[in-house]
Structure 1
Amino acid sequence: MKLHIVPARTGLEWTRLGLRVFWRQPMALAALFFLCMAAMSLATALPLVGPAIALALLPSATLAMMVAAAEASQGRMPTPALLLVAFRTGRERLNAMLTLGALYAGGFLLIMGLTAAIDGGQFASIYMGGQPMTREAAESGSFQAAMWVSMLLYLPLSLLFWHAPALVHWHGVPPVKALFFSLVACLRNLGALTVYALAWLGVFVIAGMVVSLVVALLSGLGLGMGFAGGVMVGTAMMLAAMFFTSVVFTFRDSFEAPQAPQAPAAQD
């Protein structure tokens, strides 16, 4: 396995490929993303351990979208069966993915625990869906401090797990080594990842402006706020699915190995 160092402008290409490949198979990729989110939502409903299980499923859900995007880039139709791809590649890799999930859940809950020491758990409760956001909470100094601390701590956690599921699945790397290699790859390609993040921020901002205009027009036609709200939620979910479709390209260009996913650039 060899690490590739790519120029910063590659981040724009990753975004472009994610958008292009998504629109090759929009229904299949969107449906798989919705299934991933539904599975995590169902897990959250379990008493006591539900939120932890939902967090532990995130690396597997990310891998499912990466495999689906690799399939779509090769002209094949992603199927809902890819939702379980992390659990159908042998006992060794199954155990590795379960370990990754447990480490991710543990890391995330540790961050929430640290923020609780700042504001008494208010931010963690709101973020995890335990209580609704209120204006008083948002304006609280301790709440804002907890929010910023969580953002600063989540960044290294995200870098640790960015490539880790793919390294386990395609390269057979043990979980702890996969976390280390993921962090190193992200830091060595930080310029490209920064451009990638900014490009996606731009996509979300532009899409938000367009949707806001559409919602205003729909409201003016008397279609009701319920319908407009559905448009906004649906658009947000589609954009999230597009983003996760692009993640496989950040992995493909960062590592080289015979068993790496073949996700060539979409042809015009």
Structure 2
Amino acid sequence: MKLKVVPARTGALWVKLGIQTFFKQPLALAGLFFMFMAIMTVASLVPWIGFMLAMTFLPAATLGLMAATREATQGRFPMPVILVAAFRAGKSEARAMLTLGGLYSLGFLVAIGASWLVDDGDFARVYLGGSMPEREVLLEGNFQSAMWVFIGLHMPLSLLFWHAPALVHWHGLTPAKSLFFSIVACLRNFWAFVVFGLSWIGVLMLLVLAITLVATLLGSPALAGDLMLPLLMVMVSMFFTSLYFSFRDCFELPDDIVEIKS
């Protein structure tokens, strides 16, 4: 395994490839993403341990979406079973992926717990419940401080796990080594990931602008609200599709999965 350093502009290329690949297999990739969301939702409904269970499955499910993207790049139709690719590769990898999931859920719990200490759980209830708070709550100093505490702790957690599932699956690394090489790759390619993030923010702004413009031209403000959620979900599906390309360009792939660059 060899870690690679890429130019900053590669971050924009990952976004481009993610969008292009999505449109190669839009029904399959969108369907798999919605299955991914459904699995997380159902897992979170389990009494007492639901949320932690969903977080435990997250690395394996993310790997499934990355594997689906690889299938799409090779002109194949990704089947639903690919979402559980990590658990079909053998007991050793399944244990490693569940270990990653347990570590991620623990890290997430620490991050959300730290925010709870700042504002008595207001931000945590909004984040976990998915509800939109009142404007007055959003402007409260404690709420904003809790939000930034969570972001500050969750950001390094995300970098630790960004490449980790793929490193376990395609390179056979242990959970500890996969976390180490994941954050090293993210830091070594810091500016590429900055461009990647900014590019997706730009895509989001263009999407919101386009939806608003269409609704205005049709004289139906309510249409913007009707279109916003489904189109945002499609965009998130494209984001997950782009994750594979960030891994592919940061690490040399094993010989058995070498691909032609797009």
> What letter corresponds to residue 232 of structure 2 in structure 1?
A
CA RMSD of aligned residues (A): 1.6
Give the TM-score taking structure 2 as reference length: 0.95
1:235 aligns with 2:231: yes
- Partner residue, 1:36: 36
Inter-CA distance 101–207: structure 2 relative to 1 (3 Å threshold): same
Q: Which amino acid aligns with 2:53?
A: I
CA distance in 2, matches of 1:208, 1:130: 20
Aligned 8 A contact 1:60 1:101 in 2: yes
Shift of 1:47: 1.0
Letter of the structure 2 residue corresponding to residue 149 of structure 1: V
Q: Which residue of 2 aligns with 1:251?
A: 247
Contact kept in structure 1, 2:211 and 2:224, CA below 8 Å: no
Quote the residue 2:260 is aligned against: 264
Q: Distance in 1 between matches of 2:173 and 2:18?
A: 25
Q: Does 1:154 align with 2:150?
A: no
Q: Deviations over 1:67-113 (max 9, x none)?
A: 01111001011111112112111000000000011111110011011
Give the equivalent residue in structure 2 for 1:144: 144
Q: Which residue does 1:175 correspond to in 2? A: 175
Q: How many residues in Structure 1 have an aligned counterpart in Structure 2? A: 262
- The answer as to whether partners of 1:73 and 1:265 remain within 8 angstroms in 2 is no
Q: TM-score, normalised by structure 1?
A: 0.93
Alignment gaps of 5+ in structure 2: none
Q: Give a deviation string over 1:140-184, Cα, whole Å, max 9, x none.
A: 111110001111111100100000000001001000110000000
Stretch deviating more after TM superposition (180-189 or 122-131): 122-131
Letter of the structure 2 residue corresponding to residue 175 of structure 1? P
Tell whether the 8 Å contact from 1:111 to 1:154 is kept in structure 2 after alignment. yes
Aligned to 1:56: 56
CA distance in 2, matches of 1:19, 1:177: 30
Identity percentage of aligned residues: 50
Q: Post-superposition shift, 1:259? A: 4.8
Cα contact 2:212–2:224 (8 A) shared by 1:
no
Q: Which runs of 5+ in 1 are unaligned?
A: none
Q: 2:122 matched to which residue of 1?
A: 122
2:13 is matched with 13
In 2 relative to 1, CA 110–159 (structure 1 residues): closer, same or farther, beyond 3 Å? same
User: Paired residue for 1:215?
Assistant: 215
Measure, in 1, the Cα distance between the counterparts of 2:261 and 2:28: 19
- 1: CA distance, partners of 2:242 / 2:82: 17
Distance change in 2, residues 1:154/1:260 (3 Å):
farther
Give the CA deviation at 1:122. 1.2
Structure 1 residue 130 displacement after superposition: 7.4
C-alpha deviations, 1:8-28, integer Å up to 9, x for none?
A: 111111111111111100110
> 2:149 and 2:141 mapped to 1: Cα distance?
12
Alpha carbons of 1:59 and 1:30: their partners in 2 closer, same or farther (altered >3 Å)? same
More helix by share: 2
